[in-house]
Amino acid sequence: MIAIIDYGMGNLGSVQKALAFLGFESEITNDPSTVMAADGVVLPGVGAIGAAMEALNSRGLDKVVHEYIATGKPFLGICLGMQMLFDTSEESFGGEPVKGLSVLPGKVVKFPSDMGLKIPQIGWNDLSSRNEILPDKEFVYFVHSYYCVPENEEDIAATVTYGIEYCCSVRRKNVFACQFHPEKSGEAGLRILNRWAKQTEK
């Protein structure tokens, strides 16, 4: 069973429907014991990172994320769920930068306002993949105003170009995350989800 962490924000239903379409059982939950017992975990998310981190922390789910990752079982972060894995975000919450989960060293920054493109980035773009889970040159769907800057080059699983080239996916050991939405990315996104989810069957 794959647990989809429910902290009050995120595209929970669409992730669950995509997994069900692929034949994988999943449960939307905020129960720590259910999360820890899962064969794989998804941390989804949309919206503001400050509110998301506050919601996650208030439920004690920040600790659960760290404990689960430490088991070595497959973990997937999607969109805001990727951004929360880093140390800090420039996105202000109460006038202060937001502290993330510090699973991966690095920061989250806003797209440059002078790059001549609309912010947020909304729409399809093609991946430059460095990882076997991600198909190279496939188009996937993005919607975001901030992007991740990993401290370690080896954590980068894929990049994409939108005015600038930036990291849109990371992988370290059992942690995999993507800025784009695989559950909204058609057949390419389903292939990515399927490759990740198959790891939960081992």
Which residues are part of the catalytic machinery?
Answer: 79, 181, 183
Residue 124 burial by Cβ neighbours in a 10 Å radius (0-12, 13-18, 19+): middle
Q: Which residues contact 23 (CB under 8 A, 6 or more apart)?
A: none
C-alpha pair distances (Å), 108 with each of 20, 48, 155, 161, 180: 31, 12, 14, 16, 15
CA-closest candidate to residue 179, choices 60, 80, 64: 80
